[in-house]
Homo-oligomer: A and B are copies of this chain.
Amino acid sequence: MTTQTGHTEAIAASRVIGTSVYNTRDEKIGSIEDVMLDKLSNGIMFAVVGFGGFLGMGEKYHAVPWSALDYVPERGGYVVPFTEEQLKAAPAYSISELSGDDGEAARDASHNYYGVTPYWH
């Protein structure tokens, strides 16, 4: 989600995927690997943020609430209001853990960690 810094209201998912994510100290902390969509409502569940390292079968991701991502055009990326330490300690899961029907606990834990109430509650 962008706030006042954005130039348009709408953005294509394919353009979001691959965008860099920075913390508030201008340090790149990862990239948006995917966006998780809700099949049962009109909701964007969260952005799937990869935090580097070896891309492989067992890779874990952060589920960052869409509303926590602020697109900053000058940086060409999203800024999240979290410190590096917060992000390092954030819960991380595989894609299947996040997308499965039994993934609600993982999705909830991520939102709770970032202090954002999920829209599905």
Contact = CB atoms under 8 A, between A and B. Distances in A.
Contact of A42 (B44, B95, B107): B44
Interface of A: 1-3, 6-14, 16-17, 34-45, 48, 66-67, 71, 95, 98-101, 103-104, 107, 119
Contacts of A119: 42
Contacts of A3: 40
Contact of A1 (B1, B7, B41): B41
Given A16-B37, A37-B16, A99 B10 contact: yes
A43 B40 contact: no
Most buried by B among A14, A16, A42, A98: A42
A37 B35 contact: yes
B14 A37 contact: no
Given A37-B13, A37-B35, A48-B12, A101 B7 contact: yes
